[in-house]
Amino acid sequence: RPILLWFRRDLRLADHPMLHEAVRSGRPLIPVAILDPVAEGWGAAARWRWGEGLRVFGAALAARGARLVLRRGLAAEVLAQLAGETGAEAVWWSRAYDPAARARDVAVKAALRGAGMAARSFPGHLLFEPEAVATGQGTGYKLFSAYWRAASRLDPGRPLPAPGALSVPASWPASEDLAAWRLGAALRAGEDVLRHHSAPGEAAAQARLSGFLDTRSARYAERRDFPAEDATSGLSEYLTYGEVSPRTIWSETARAGGNAKFLSELGWREFAYHLLHHAPGLAQDNWNRDWDRFPWRGDNADAEAWRRGMTGEPFVDAALREMYVTGRMHNRARMVAASYLTKHLRTDWRVGLDWFADCLTDWDPAANAMGWQWVAGSGPDAAPYFRVFNPVTQAEKFDPDGAYRRRWIAEGRADPHPDARAYFQAAPRAWALDPQAAYPVRRVAPAEGRQRALDAYERWKTLK
């Protein structure tokens, strides 16, 4: 009897514990992907990028004689239906750790077992299962340094090889058409714009990893904060959709001579899931509930200018425009842009969290929430709220020759960078942006914005 392999954020063949075990079972395998309400709830860029990943992964399966069966609907119902059509009596998947997916998976497991089927979940998305790293008291860590000290002592094990040909059923159940899912329909910038900046799939991930280890890794620690440079790995979108496993990155980095700083950044990804495991509310609520009383502004006109990359603060605008056009934003720029929204514009971090979730092709439910709460000051091990990034000095320090800002700001330039022009072409018509118009005046002077933030912080301290 066949096994249904339900693929979600694990679109790879190599180092895939579930697939490895399935192949060893010798049973026919039916790979399935389901467009269910959880996936439909993702942001526009994430949905599109997942679809790109499915396309490439489907082709990789086809090269091994298998197919990726696509169905839309409630996961429990789709899986029961497929079991009826194929005679499968087991459904396997790789574990997901964010609250929405976890709640779904618990319900799916109960429904399948209730119907007499076997449901089994596997690790693979993380180096270490979130509960595998625990303090002496058996609780979770709140500080990254202590977490990573403990986690680094564990052995993630060796990556598993990719399987050869897959055992397949005598006949295949019908599949829906990926194009008919229209996963890119909600993209404001359009699929062609993002496609230009994204190369989906396992082979592309592997090439990106080798390229990084061969050339950029040596200067990573020194240059990773400069957004105009291609100095980081660019692996986040591959990790998000499981096109490479963190264990493969870990072991190949070790083989290439190691890189403690880079691996500790991978550790932040692990830490984000560790935090989310112990406090699922992290994804939406202030981790420290004292912040519920902070006088955040809800969505507002300044925040809208921020979303459009029209605040008049060049480093911040460059960051927002970069994300809009490429689906990515450099980490330093994420920190400065998030600080500007939550401090200078005193806007609730969830307004920014939602915009990032809609625009990032590497959107990750744990890293995004942890990143925003870190910047806002409401999270565990967070930067204190009174530490306000100055967008001008940050730009002077990390974009000293202005190359990053020039790449994204077209206004006032006779011959703007093609990416700066692309931003205006990709922006929604309703925004009525004009590259010939003058660059907007600052919505708030850096010093004034900083003072406003500090005043709000002082008020809040008397309330908490």
What tokens were used for 313?
């603060």
- Pair type for strands 90-94 and 3-6: parallel
* Nearest-approach distance from CB 456 to ligand FAD, in angstroms: 20
Helix intervals (H) in 156-293: 178-181, 191-195, 202-211, 220-223, 236-240, 246-255, 260-278
Distances (CA, A) of 99 to 221, 277, 309: 33, 8, 31
Cα within 13 Å of Cα(462), Cβ side: 5
306 part of the active site:
no
3-state SS, residue 90? strand
Of 128-136, 189-197, 314-322, 333-341: span binding ligand FAD (CB under 6 A)? 333-341
Q: Is there binding between residue 35 and ligand FAD (CB under 6 A)? A: no
**Residue 41: Cβ-neighbour burial (10 angstroms; 0-12, 13-18, 19+):** exposed
Question: Which one of residues 224, 321, 346, 450 is an interface residue with ligand FAD (CB under 6 A)?
Answer: 224
Respond yes or no: is residue 331 known to be catalytic. Answer: yes
Is 349 known to be catalytic?
A: yes
Active-site residue flag, 368: no
Q: Does 53 bind ligand FAD (CB under 6 A)?
A: no
- Should residue 211 be labelled a site residue for ligand FAD when binding is judged by CB under 6 A? no
**Binding to ligand FAD, residues 228-257 (CB under 6 A):** 232-236, 239-240
Residue nearest to ligand FAD (CB): 371
Q: Which of residues 361-390 bind ligand FAD (CB under 6 A)?
A: 362-364, 367-368, 371-372, 375
Rounded Cα gap, residues 290 and 461, in angstroms: 9
From the candidates 85, 229, 304, 331, give the one annotated as an active-site residue. Answer: 331
Instruction: Tell the smallest beta-carbon distance from residue 182 to ligand FAD (Å).
Output: 23
The residue range among 17-25, 185-193, 268-276, 290-298 that interacts with ligand FAD, by the rule CB under 6 A, is 268-276
Give the separation between CA 134 and CA 30, rounded to whole angstroms.
Answer: 37
Q: Pick the closest to residue 203 from 1, 456, 11 (CA basis).
A: 11
Q: Is 404 in the site for ligand FAD (CB under 6 A)?
A: no
Say how far residue 94 (Cα) sits from the centre of its chain. 17
Binding site for ligand FAD (CB under 6 A): 224, 232-236, 239-240, 265-266, 268-269, 272, 331, 334-335, 338, 356, 360, 362-364, 367-368, 371-372, 375
Residues marked as catalytic: 265, 268, 296, 331, 349, 372
